[in-house]
Structure 1
Amino acid sequence: MDAPQDRRFPLSAGILFGLGLGGFFDGIVLHQILQWHHMVSSWYPIDSMANLELNTLWDGIFHSTTYVFVVLGLFILWRAAHRGHLFWSSKLLAGSLLIGWGLFNTVEGLIDHEILGVHHVNEPMPRDQWIYWDLGFLLWGAAMLAVGWLLVRAGRAEQAARILA
């Protein structure tokens, strides 16, 4: 019989998936589709071919990193799925995904937007409005962290009840 800790949902897998999905959303929607910013577009504005090439390179490095997060999450989830009698929880999966995505938004928003200033959420807007978009991005991340944490708490309670049953 498996020990109770071996039957728990792997939160780290969901967090890594959330980090990766948050990065993919940012890169695909904000960088490519809407073209609001690129990875280092505040430092190197898209006003020359050389700057576009540099930003595209850093966007690719960024996407590669988010891809690694998803692969690591998949590896952890795959390993856990091979355990006997694993208790799956939709709340734990959704909560850990939201925690990962919220961590991505919060950390990336604080470091890249506010501390380093390598880019801002919506650079086509007038410069004096960038802070509002950046703050919205941070609030969105904080909201995902809070909802994710609540879902993980609820999922852990359900999981504990199922393990004891």
Structure 2
Amino acid sequence: MKKRKSSKDEPFNFWSGILFGLGLVAFIDEVVFHQLLHWHHFYDKSTTSIGLVSDGVFHAFSWFATVVSLFMLADLRKRNVWDRRGWIGAVILGAGVFQLYDGIIHHKLMRLHQIRYVDDVIYYDIVWNVIAGFMIVIGLIAVAQKKTPEPKKKAGE
């Protein structure tokens, strides 16, 4: 017998997706921009050693968020109440929110680091934040769409 999704499962589904999106985009940011391209560290206002330690803490955060979200997802799937469309929308939303937070709060307000240390960083900032905005809009649209109910089967089918 298939269990029906209740309204109490929706926040759990949503927050699992948000955490996975945060962890995923933080992981991608850490690996691509910090480790592979060497564009910056999470905290660039000190020595390289402090920058590497800050990258480690940032990396631990991304893994923690990802692992917690996957435990939540496993519970949703075990109880057969996972809303895939809503979850994927929340993943995209979480990724976009993290990226916009990083681009505005970390890069501009707190000045922890820049995307890249070049003369015309504004172009990087625009691309970074516009992509974040698109992800937020796409995520919100996907989360807002209600899952269409399955048609009821008639007796004897």
TM-score range, shorter chain: 0.7 to 0.9
For 1:105 and 1:141, locate their aligned partners in 2 and report how far apart those are by CA, in whole Å: 5
Match of 2:111 among 106, 111, 117: 117
Identity %: 28
Match of 2:28 among 19, 25, 40: 25
Structure 2 residue identity aligned to 1:138 = N
Unaligned runs of 5+ in 1: 45-50
For 2:5 and 2:91, locate their aligned partners in 1 and report how far apart those are by CA, in whole Å: 25
1:89-110 C-alpha deviation (Å, 9 max, x unpaired): 2x22321111110011011111
> Once superposed, what is the RMSD of the aligned Cα atoms?
2.0
1:43-69 C-alpha deviation (Å, 9 max, x unpaired): 23xxxxxx1111000000111111111
Task: Return the offset for 1:139.
Answer: 1.3
Structure 1 residue identity aligned to 2:121 = W
Q: For residue 48 of structure 1, what is the aligned residue in structure 2? A: none
Match of 1:34 among 30, 33, 37: 37
Q: Which has the higher helix share?
A: 1
Q: If the length of structure 2 is used for normalisation, what is the TM-score?
A: 0.85
For 1:3 and 1:144, locate their aligned partners in 2 and report how far apart those are by CA, in whole Å: 26
Match of 2:128 among 134, 137, 141: 137
For 1:133 and 1:100, locate their aligned partners in 2 and report how far apart those are by CA, in whole Å: 21
Q: 1:15 to 1:87 in 2, by over 3 A?
A: closer
For 2:22 and 2:76, locate their aligned partners in 1 and report how far apart those are by CA, in whole Å: 19
Unaligned runs of 5+ in 2: 153-157
1:28-82 C-alpha deviation (Å, 9 max, x unpaired): 00111111111122x23xxxxxx11110000001111111111111121122222
Q: If the length of structure 1 is used for normalisation, what is the TM-score?
A: 0.81
Q: 1:92 to 1:3 in 2, by over 3 A?
A: closer
For 2:95 and 2:135, locate their aligned partners in 1 and report how far apart those are by CA, in whole Å: 7
For 1:153 and 1:145, locate their aligned partners in 2 and report how far apart those are by CA, in whole Å: 12
Structure 1 residue identity aligned to 2:56 = G
For 1:16 and 1:70, locate their aligned partners in 2 and report how far apart those are by CA, in whole Å: 6
Q: Does 1:56 align with 2:41?
A: no
Task: Return the offset for 1:88.
Answer: 3.5
